[in-house]
Amino acid sequence: MRAGFPIATRGMVIGLLGGSFDPAHEGHAHITREAIKRMGLDRVWWLVSPGNPLKARQPAPMADRLARAQAVMDDPRVDVTDLEARLGTRATYDTLRRLQAIYPGVRFVWLMGADNLVQFHRWGHWRDILRAVPVGVLARPGAGVTARLSVAAQSFRVHRVARGEGLGARSAPAWCFVNLPMHGASSSAIRARGEWRK
């Protein structure tokens, strides 16, 4: 295995939670723990992105975001990584293709908050992402109805599974919407209050 890459063996089910994590907060940790519990994941990898192509604002330095994420997410089943920087990828589809090549026999599940599903159709190769790996969508405050009515949700409605259990064992395309107790933390709200990068 390459230096700096997390360890995963054939047959494992790994959830991938991507984002700028600018900053990471308890809401990220909450949906991660819920995904592990509800979807039967062996591990989750946080993919701290070098930058989001859909956002004009530059994030805080990678080292700062990684340190904050590691402090927030202390579960031993979760790896906080800079894999996209190491792989030289910024688009989710490219990252998935590279990880599937590097980790043959490992089953990946893409995880996202419901707020991301609302604008998922703006992501590059969004249909290919849904065809490449199962996708677990986790409820976020204020995004439930709009997520269920989103372009991506409607386009792939016949591939929606009722519950998240065993999602990683399903062949793509397959996705689920998981209701869970809400956590209202927000990276943008934390930045607006000036609690980050002081």
Is there a domain that residue 3 lies in?
no
Residue 143 has pLDDT above 80, yes or no: no
CA-wise closest residue to 135 among 6, 12, 16: 16
Per-residue pLDDT averaged across 99-123, rounded? 95
Handedness of CA 115, 147, 140, 67 (dihedral sign): negative
* CATH assignment of the domain containing 174: 3.40.50.620
The domain containing residue 131 runs over which residues? 13-192
Is there a domain that residue 96 lies in?
yes
Is there a domain that residue 198 lies in?
no
| CA-to-CA dists, residue 67 to 21, 24, 64, 124, 158, angstroms | 11, 9, 5, 29, 40
The per-residue pLDDT for range 49-100, each reduced to its tens digit, is: 987 666 667 888 999 999 999 999 989 999 999 999 999 998 999 999 999 9
Is there a domain that residue 7 lies in?
no
More confident residue, 53 or 139: 139
Structure token digits, residue 79: 């790896």
**Number of structural domains the chain divides into:** 1
More confident residue, 146 or 110: 110
Is there a domain that residue 22 lies in?
yes
Residue 10 has pLDDT above 90, yes or no: yes
Global pTM reads 0.89
Whole-number percent of the chain with pLDDT over 70:
86
Give me the pLDDT at residue 186, please.
60
Is there a domain that residue 1 lies in?
no
Residue 181's CB is within 10 A of a number of other CB atoms, namely: 7
Is there a domain that residue 121 lies in?
yes
CA-wise closest residue to 197 among 27, 64, 54: 64
Is there a domain that residue 155 lies in?
yes
Place of tokens 């997520």: 147
